[in-house]
Chain A
Amino acid sequence: MTTPAQTQIRGMGHSVKRKEDPRFLRGRGHYVDDIKLPGMLYMDIARSPYAHAKILNIDASKALALPGVLAVITGKDLDAAGLAWMPTLMSDKQMVLPVDRVVYQAQEVAAVIATDRYIAADAITLIDVEYEPLPPVVDPIKALEPDAPLVRPDREQKTNHIWHWEAGDAGKTDEAFNSAEVVVAQDLYIPRIHVSSIETCGCVASFDKVEGKLTVYMTTQAPHAIRTVFSLVSGIPEHKIRIISPDIGGGFGGKVPVYPGYVIASVASIQTGLPIKWIEDRSENLQADSFARDYHIHAELAAKRDGTMQALRVKTIADHGAFDAAANPSKFPAGLFSVITGSYALDAAHVEVDGVYTNKPSGGVAYRCSFRVTEAVHTIERMVDTLAQQLHMDPADIRMKNFIPPDAFPYKSATGWEYDSGNYPAALQKAMDKVGYAELRREQAEKRARGELMGIGISTFTEIVGAGPSNTFDILGIKMFDSAEIRVHPTGSAIVRIGVQTQGQGHETTFAQIVAEELGLPVENIAVEHGDTDTAPYGLGTYASRSTPTAGAATAVAARKIRDKAKKLAAHLLEASEDDIEWSDYKFQVKGVPSRSVTMQQVAFAAYTNHPQGMEAGLEAVDYYDPPNLTFPFGAYICVVDIDRGTGEVKIRRFVAIDDCGNVINPMIVEGQIHGGLTMGMAPALLEAITYDENGNIQQGNLMEYLLPTAMETPVWETDRTVTPSPHHPFGAKGVGESATVGAPPAIANAVVDALSHLGVTHLDIPITPWKVYAILQEHGATEV
C-alpha cells in the first residue's frame, strides 16, 4: 500500500518522469557540438589510408596556403613537446600523432586548425603524405607466428603478444576433464563491433592564457580520471584543468577512452590561446574509435551423462588492435571474463586469454557491457546448449539441473568470485510461464514435421557489475570508489553532486529519488549535478553498470549521514532525547507518539536558524563509497524465432526478458534500460560486425554498411522482473544498464541453432545474417522452393 507521504516524496520504486526530459524535448540539450565560444577555431584530422605504412614525408604547404588555415599539426610538432605518445588506461602507450609510421587504417596523421569547419575539411585533403606501405597484420592468430611483421617495433618485446592472463585452477580442471563422462568442445568467434552512439565524439578545448587554465568540454564518460591523466601527461597543475562532460548523446563504453583528437585540440588551444572545436564525422568515429569484443574462443565443457556440468576450460585469443587502449581495471586485462562459469555450479574452471596486437584500431572497450562479461556469457550459454544438444536434453531442464541453488548464496565461483545473491530457477520458471514454453515446444514439433523452421532459445545469464572494491579494482592506480555530496538548503530543497554522470541513463532523476527516499524530501525539490570536475566530487565515471552500485550507494550513505545529524536537530526541536527519536514514514517522531513529529524540511530550517549550542550549522554530507563486493544481476531470457526458408532471414517473433537487478529505483527507467539493452544485444546477434580485408581495410566504415537496428528489425520486447536484493548494497540495488546486452545474444543464437538442430547444426557464430542461414539451408536442401 502506498502512503500519502510516499506519494508526495516519490522515492524508491516510483516511475518518476525524467527531470532531464524538458530540455531535450525542446531541443535545448547542451551537447558538445552546441557549444560556441568567442573566437572559436575548428579542427579536422587527416587520416591514414593504409593499415600499416612508413611515413616518409608530410608536406602541409598547400594546406597552409589555403585562406583560413592557421596551423597544421603533425607528430613531429607534438614530439618536440613530448606529446607524440600518450599513456593508455592499460599500461600501454598510444600515438597521438605518428612520427614515422601508421599502424591502422584511419589513424590520425595530421590535424588542421582553421577558422571554419568547411575550410578545415578542405585543408586536410591538401596535405600530401608520402607513405611506404608495410605488410599488415590482420589475423591475430597469424600475428603470433614467429615470422609475423611487428605491429609495435617501439616495444622492447619483439612480438605481437601483449599479455597472458588466466584464472581458476588448471590442475583441478584438467583432472575433471580427464575423468569426465562427456566432453563438448566448440570454437566461438565474438566479432569486433562498434558502439556507434548516435552522437559521435568531440570536444571544445579552451585555454585561458591569463588564468593558465584549460577547460575541455568533452564527450567523456569519466571526466575526473581524464583530468588526472591530462595533468600527469601535460604537467599542468590539476586545479588548472577543468573537464566538463555536457549532455552526452549515448556512451556505451565508447566514450571512456582518451582519443588523440581530444589531446591535439587541447594542445592547439594551449598554443593559440583560442578555443578549438573538434567533432568527428560518423565515418571517423566508426573507423578509428575503439572497438569492442573480437575474441577468438575455444571452450570445452565436461559433464556427467545425466547432464550434471562439472568443469569448464577456455582458451582465448583477444585482438586488441595496435594499442592496448581498452578501459579495464588495471589488474584485469581481460576484464571480468572469468565470470564465465555463469549461473551454474561447476566444480572447476580454468580460463586463459592472450592479448595480441594487430594493425587495427584499439579493441577491447565495452559495448554496453561490464568488462568482457558479454563474451563470457555468450560462451557459457552456448556451451550449455551444446551439451544439452549432445545429450538430447531440453535446454531448460539442463539449466534447472545445474543452477547454483538459491540457498547457496553468497556463492564462491570456481574462478573466485563471490556472487552476492540470486534465484535463478525462479527467474527461468517465470520466463517459461510467461512465454508458454511447453506449448511452444509442441508448436515447434508440429512445424518441424511440416518442414517449417522455428526455434526457441534460452539464456540464463549472470552479470558482474559495480567495480569495484578498492583492494582489487583500480584504473591507473585510482581506486574504483565513487562519490556523492549532498547539501540540504534552509527551506528543505537540496542539491546532489555525484562522481558519475548520465549519457542517457537518467541520473538527474534516479539520484534525486535516492535522496528523496533517504531524507523524506519531495523528489522535485532535489537537483542533481554531474560531469563538471570543478564542482562534482571525484569519481571514476559511468560505465560497466557501476553508477547505482557505487555512486548510488555513496548517495544513500551521504544522505544517511545527513539523517544522523538531522536526528539530533529533531531531538532538539522536539525537546526529547535523541534515543527517543525514530525515523518513520519520512519524518522524525518521538517513539510511539506520531503526533510529536518534525519533517526533514523543518529540521533543515533549524540547521541554519535554530541549531543547538555547540552544533555545527548546516546540513550536508559527502561520501566516497568503497563497495565491499560487486553486484551480480541476472536474468532469464527466452527468444522465439521463425526462419524464412526463402531468404534465410531470422525473425524474432517473441522475446521474453525476466531481469533481476535487486531493488529498483525507477521501474520506468529500468524497463527503458532493458529495452535498449535488448536492442543492443540483438544488434551483434543478427546485424553488426566489423571485418577487415587482407590489407587491413575496414569493410563497414559507415552507417550504410554497418547496420544498426531500426524500428523495423526490433521486436516488441516483453519484460518483467524478479527481485532479489543485493545484501551488501545500502538499498539492495544492482546495476542494470547492460544486463540485456549481455544476456540477449546467446538467447537469439540458441534459438536459431535450435531451429536448425534437426539438420545437424550445432553452432553458428554471430552475427547470424540471412546469407549465413541461407547457405546452411541450401547445404541441407531445406530452402523453400
Chain B
Amino acid sequence: MTSPTNTAKTQHVTITINGKPVEADVEPRLLLVHFIREVAGLTGTHIGCDTTSCGACTVLVDGTPAKSCTLLAVQADGAAIATVEGLEQGGELHPVQEGFFQEHGLQCGFCTPGMMMTATALLARNPDPSEAEIRRAISGNLCRCTGYVNIVKSIQYAAKKINAAETAPVAAAVGAEVRQA
C-alpha cells in the first residue's frame, strides 16, 4: 500500500470516487477494494471472501457493477467509481436505500452496500425488472441473514418509486399537450 517500508515500484493513479478524484501512488498489486477502503477512507464497501464469490465489495465502475476485490487499483485508473457512500444525494436517500429500510431488506448490514450497488445498476438498465430478473441480478451477492425475500421486495419498492418519479413529469407533459390540443 502506501507504506514507507515498501520498496516495490509504485504507480500514480487518479480514481474518481462518488464524483471526487482521489490520487495516490500505489503498488500495482493493490486491490481496488483496499484503495477505496484504506486510501480513500470509504469503509462502506466490505470484504467478505477471497474468491470473488460473495459480492460484499461490489461497486460501480463507470456504471457497471464490479467486485472491487478482483480489480486492481491500477486497472481503475481514470475510472469513475460509485460506492454506497455516494447513493444519498442532498440529504435524501436513494430509492434503493429507502426500499431496503422500508422492506427490512437488511439485518447485519454487512452485505447491504454491495447488494444495494448491484440493485442500483440493475434499475439503471432495467427500471421495471421481474422478480426472476432481480434474483438473477443479485445472484452474485451473498446474504446470510435475510433469505433474500425482503431484498427482492426492497428492490421492487425502489423500482416502483423510481418509476413513479419518472412518470410524474411525463404525465404532466402529456397533460399539457392534451390541454393545448
Give the B-binding residues of A (Cβ under 8 A).
Answer: 17-18, 20-29, 31, 33-34, 36, 67-68, 115-119, 195-200, 247-250, 252, 281-283, 503-506, 668-669, 671-672, 675-680, 702-704, 708, 710-712, 714, 716-717
Task: Report, nearest first, the 8 A-B pairs whose CB atoms are least far apart.
Answer: A27-B44, A249-B110, A504-B108, A24-B109, A675-B147, A504-B107, A68-B5, A27-B84
Residue in chain A with minimal CB distance to B4: A115
Shortest Cβ gap from B158 to chain A (Å): 12
Residue in chain B with minimal CB distance to A718: B149
Shortest Cβ gap from B82 to chain A (Å): 11
User: Does B93 contact A676, Cβ atoms closer than 8 Å?
Assistant: no
User: Does B85 contact A198, Cβ atoms closer than 8 Å?
Assistant: no
User: Does B104 contact A668, Cβ atoms closer than 8 Å?
Assistant: yes
User: Does B139 contact A711, Cβ atoms closer than 8 Å?
Assistant: yes
User: Does A198 contact B108, Cβ atoms closer than 8 Å?
Assistant: yes
Residue in chain A with minimal CB distance to B98: A25
Distance, CA A711 to CA B118, complexed state (A): 13
Residue in chain B with minimal CB distance to A29: B109
Shortest Cβ gap from B37 to chain A (Å): 8
Known: A199-B110, A282-B54, A703-B51. Contact between A25 and B93, CB under 8 A? yes
User: Does B147 contact A679, Cβ atoms closer than 8 Å?
Assistant: yes
Instruction: Note all chain B residues with C-beta closer than 8 A to A717.
Output: 147, 149
Residue in chain B with minimal CB distance to A195: B144
User: Does A505 contact B85, Cβ atoms closer than 8 Å?
Assistant: no
Dominant SS at the B interface? Answer: loop
Shortest Cβ gap from B65 to chain A (Å): 15
User: Does A25 contact B50, Cβ atoms closer than 8 Å?
Assistant: no
| A-B contact list, 13 entries, CB within 8 Å | A25-B100, A26-B97, A27-B113, A118-B3, A196-B144, A249-B46, A249-B111, A672-B145, A676-B144, A679-B148, A708-B142, A711-B151, A711-B152
Instruction: Note all chain A residues with C-beta closer than 8 A to B1.
Output: 116-118
Task: Report if B167 contacts A (CB, 8 A).
Answer: no
Known: A250-B110, A676-B146, A679-B148. Contact between A119 and B5, CB under 8 A? yes
Known contacts A198-B56, A250-B144, A711-B148; 6 further A-B pairs (Cβ under 8 A):
A17-B104, A26-B97, A67-B5, A250-B110, A282-B49, A708-B144
Instruction: Note all chain A residues with C-beta closer than 8 A to B37.
Output: 33-34
Give the A-binding residues of B (Cβ under 8 A).
Answer: 1, 3-7, 27, 29-30, 37-38, 42-51, 53-54, 56, 83-85, 87-88, 93, 97, 100-102, 104, 106-113, 116, 134-136, 138-152
Shortest Cβ gap from B86 to chain A (Å): 9
User: Does A672 contact B7, Cβ atoms closer than 8 Å?
Assistant: no
Instruction: Note all chain A residues with C-beta closer than 8 A to B139.
Output: 710-712
Residue in chain A with minimal CB distance to B85: A27
User: Does A28 contact B144, Cβ atoms closer than 8 Å?
Assistant: no
Distance, CA A692 to CA B47, complexed state (A): 27
Instruction: Note all chain B residues with C-beta closer than 8 A to A17.
Output: 101-102, 104
Shortest Cβ gap from A369 to chain B (Å): 14
Instruction: Note all chain B residues with C-beta closer than 8 A to A283.
Output: 50-51
Distance, CA A117 to CA B1, complexed state (A): 8
User: Does A282 contact B108, Cβ atoms closer than 8 Å?
Assistant: no
Known: A17-B102, A711-B148. Contact between A26 and B88, CB under 8 A? yes
User: Does A710 contact B106, Cβ atoms closer than 8 Å?
Assistant: no
A24 contacts which of B51, B106, B151 (Cβ < 8 Å)?
B106
Distance, CA A248 to CA B140, complexed state (A): 22
Instruction: Note all chain A residues with C-beta closer than 8 A to B113.
Output: 27
User: Does B48 contact A282, Cβ atoms closer than 8 Å?
Assistant: yes
User: Does A676 contact B50, Cβ atoms closer than 8 Å?
Assistant: no
Distance, CA A363 to CA B93, complexed state (A): 43
User: Does A506 contact B6, Cβ atoms closer than 8 Å?
Assistant: no
A25 contacts which of B112, B146, B149 (Cβ < 8 Å)?
B112
User: Does B104 contact A672, Cβ atoms closer than 8 Å?
Assistant: yes
Distance, CA A416 to CA B29, complexed state (A): 60
Distance, CA A714 to CA B146, complexed state (A): 11
Instruction: Note all chain B residues with C-beta closer than 8 A to A119.
Output: 3, 5-6
Distance, CA A23 to CA B100, complexed state (A): 12
Instruction: Note all chain A residues with C-beta closer than 8 A to B134.
Output: 711
A710 contacts which of B42, B109, B142 (Cβ < 8 Å)?
B142
Distance, CA A687 to CA B69, complexed state (A): 25
Residue in chain A with minimal CB distance to B140: A710
Instruction: Note all chain B residues with C-beta closer than 8 A to A21.
Output: 100-101, 106, 109
A675 contacts which of B88, B102, B116, B146 (Cβ < 8 Å)?
B146
User: Does B85 contact A25, Cβ atoms closer than 8 Å?
Assistant: no
Distance, CA A26 to CA B106, complexed state (A): 12
Distance, CA A282 to CA B105, complexed state (A): 24
Known: A679-B148, A711-B135. Contact between A199 and B104, CB under 8 A? no
User: Does B49 contact A703, Cβ atoms closer than 8 Å?
Assistant: yes
B45 contacts which of A27, A506, A702 (Cβ < 8 Å)?
A27
Distance, CA A193 to CA B51, complexed state (A): 19
Dominant SS at the A interface? Answer: loop
Shortest Cβ gap from B29 to chain A (Å): 7
User: Does A281 contact B50, Cβ atoms closer than 8 Å?
Assistant: yes
Shortest Cβ gap from A119 to chain B (Å): 7
Residue in chain A with minimal CB distance to B49: A282
Shortest Cβ gap from A500 to chain B (Å): 15
Distance, CA A118 to CA B37, complexed state (A): 14
User: Does B5 contact A115, Cβ atoms closer than 8 Å?
Assistant: yes
Instruction: Note all chain B residues with C-beta closer than 8 A to A29.
Output: 44, 109-110
Residue in chain B with minimal CB distance to A682: B147
Distance, CA A784 to CA B62, complexed state (A): 46
Distance, CA A28 to CA B112, complexed state (A): 11
Instruction: Note all chain B residues with C-beta closer than 8 A to A675.
Output: 146-150
Instruction: Note all chain A residues with C-beta closer than 8 A to B43.
Output: 27, 31, 33-34
Instruction: Note all chain B residues with C-beta closer than 8 A to A198.
Output: 46, 48, 54, 56, 108, 110-111, 142-144
Instruction: Note all chain A residues with C-beta closer than 8 A to B147.
Output: 675-679, 714, 717
Distance, CA A263 to CA B148, complexed state (A): 36
Shortest Cβ gap from B156 to chain A (Å): 12
Shortest Cβ gap from B3 to chain A (Å): 4
User: Does A712 contact B49, Cβ atoms closer than 8 Å?
Assistant: no
Distance, CA A199 to CA B47, complexed state (A): 7
User: Does A26 contact B84, Cβ atoms closer than 8 Å?
Assistant: yes
Shortest Cβ gap from B99 to chain A (Å): 10
Residue in chain A with minimal CB distance to B41: A36
Shortest Cβ gap from B101 to chain A (Å): 5
Distance, CA A115 to CA B116, complexed state (A): 33
Instruction: Note all chain A residues with C-beta closer than 8 A to B93.
Output: 25
Instruction: Note all chain A residues with C-beta closer than 8 A to B108.
Output: 197-199, 247-250, 503-504
Which of A27, A281, A716 is packed against the most chain B CB atoms within 10 Å?
A27
Known: A26-B85, A31-B110. Contact between A680 and B144, CB under 8 A? yes
Instruction: Note all chain A residues with C-beta closer than 8 A to B151.
Output: 711
Instruction: Note all chain A residues with C-beta closer than 8 A to B6.
Output: 67-68, 116, 118-119
Residue in chain A with minimal CB distance to B134: A711
Instruction: Note all chain A residues with C-beta closer than 8 A to B87.
Output: 26
Shortest Cβ gap from B57 to chain A (Å): 11
User: Does A118 contact B50, Cβ atoms closer than 8 Å?
Assistant: no
Distance, CA A411 to CA B26, complexed state (A): 67
Shortest Cβ gap from A372 to chain B (Å): 21
Residue in chain B with minimal CB distance to A668: B104
Residue in chain A with minimal CB distance to B27: A118
Distance, CA A247 to CA B111, complexed state (A): 13
Which of A17, A671, A714 is packed against the most chain B CB atoms within 10 Å?
A714
Instruction: Note all chain A residues with C-beta closer than 8 A to B85.
Output: 26-27
User: Does B106 contact A27, Cβ atoms closer than 8 Å?
Assistant: no
B135 contacts which of A24, A199, A200, A712 (Cβ < 8 Å)?
A712
Shortest Cβ gap from B143 to chain A (Å): 7
Distance, CA A304 to CA B41, complexed state (A): 68
Shortest Cβ gap from A287 to chain B (Å): 11
Shortest Cβ gap from B121 to chain A (Å): 15
Instruction: Note all chain B residues with C-beta closer than 8 A to A22.
Output: 101
Instruction: Note all chain B residues with C-beta closer than 8 A to A67.
Output: 5-7
User: Does B3 contact A26, Cβ atoms closer than 8 Å?
Assistant: no
User: Does B144 contact A669, Cβ atoms closer than 8 Å?
Assistant: no
Known: A26-B84, A703-B51, A712-B139. Contact between A247 and B109, CB under 8 A? yes
User: Does A672 contact B54, Cβ atoms closer than 8 Å?
Assistant: no
